[in-house]
């Protein structure tokens, strides 16, 4: 993934779109139960996180991009999006 694309993905204010997806009721109930335990405000942010994780993993696998792998590794280690964004901005400006 290119630096510019990565910077866009870290922007919390990027445009969103509404979709409709059919999910079994028991899965939604499990998501609602698990979301607060994982620190999410609701089940929809948890679903977005799950989708993002899967998408990043697939993009990393398909692109072979070391920057994406580094960002994912930093996130797994608890580094905030803000710190990662600042570091990427510093690298891009050089």
What range defines the domain where residue 49 resides?
A: 3-93
Residue 23 φ then ψ, to 5°: -130, 135
Residue 70 has pLDDT above 80, yes or no: yes
Read off the pLDDT band of 64 (50, 70, 90).
low
Task: Tell me the residue length of the chain.
Answer: 94
- Given a contact cutoff of 8 angstroms between Cβ atoms, the answer to whether 68 and 6 are in contact is yes
Number of domains in the chain: 1
pLDDT value for 2:
64
Residue with the bigger pLDDT between 15 and 56: it is 15
pTM strictly above 0.75: no
Q: Give tens-digit pLDDT for 30-45.
A: 999 999 999 999 999 9
Calpha distance 83→70 (Å, rounded): 13
């Amino acid at each position: 993934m290119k630096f510019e694309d990565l910077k866009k993905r870290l922007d919390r204010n990027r445009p969103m779109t509404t979709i409709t997806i059919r999910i079994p009721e028991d899965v939604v109930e499990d998501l609602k139960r698990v979301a607060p335990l994982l620190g999410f405000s609701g089940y929809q942010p948890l679903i977005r996180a799950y989708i993002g994780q899967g998408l990043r993993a697939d993009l990393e696998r398909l692109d072979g991009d070391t920057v994406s792998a580094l960002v994912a590794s930093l996130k797994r280690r608890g580094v905030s999006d803000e710190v990662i964004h600042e570091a990427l901005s510093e690298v891009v400006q050089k």
